Amino acid sequence: MQKASINMKNLKKISFGVFAFIFGLTLILTQSAFKFAKTGSLNRAPVTFYYHGPDYSEEEVTDESNWTSEEPQESCDNEDQAPCTITVDDSFVDGSGNLESSTDLRADLNTTTSSYYISGSDDNLMTIVNKTR
């Protein structure tokens, strides 16, 4: 009878340990699975800028001073030939409403039209809409 009571004690200790382990693991997995991204849509305040540069050279396209909030006459058709609009987080906008140089706009060359268009920036969630030239 003594052997049976020892086995029951050991079984209770083991089952409690297994239960505690499973409970702890479940708690960790459920808490880490529902964290929101810091750059999610709730934290972004998007600002749209339009290209008003004199030409489509890389220097002009990536010059932040050629981008303003004034809408152009022509529409954008999302063809990668010339810059049109970008929408960035307001953290890349200065107090006067201008695009900051920290945006670090990047452009790629369209070899067919010999013009540059926006391809990226330091705002990795930036929305880019280029146009046909």
Whether residue 95 contacts residue 132, with contact meaning beta carbons closer than 8 Å, is answered with: no
Q: What percent of the chain has pLDDT over 70?
A: 77
Looking at residue 3, its pLDDT comes to 57
pLDDT at 11 over 70: no
Q: Which amino acid, one-letter code, is at 53? A: G
Tokens encoding 3: 């052997």
Mean pLDDT to the nearest integer, 65-80: 93
Looking at residue 16, its pLDDT comes to 73
Q: How many beta carbons lie within 10 A of that of residue 66, not counting itself? A: 19
Instruction: Give per-residue pLDDT as tens, 15-36.
Output: 777 777 777 767 676 665 554 4
Q: Which of 71, 83, 95 is nearest to 126 (CA)?
A: 83
Instruction: Give per-residue pLDDT as tens, 33-67.
Output: 554 444 444 467 899 999 999 999 999 999 999 99
Instruction: Give per-residue pLDDT as tens, 101-118.
Output: 999 999 999 999 999 999
Burial code (b: 16+ CB inside 10 Å, e: under 16) for 76-89 equals beeebbbbbbbebb
Looking at residue 93, its pLDDT comes to 95
Q: pTM for this one?
A: 0.67
Distance (Å, rounded) from C-alpha 86 to C-alpha 24? 46
pLDDT at 1 over 70: no
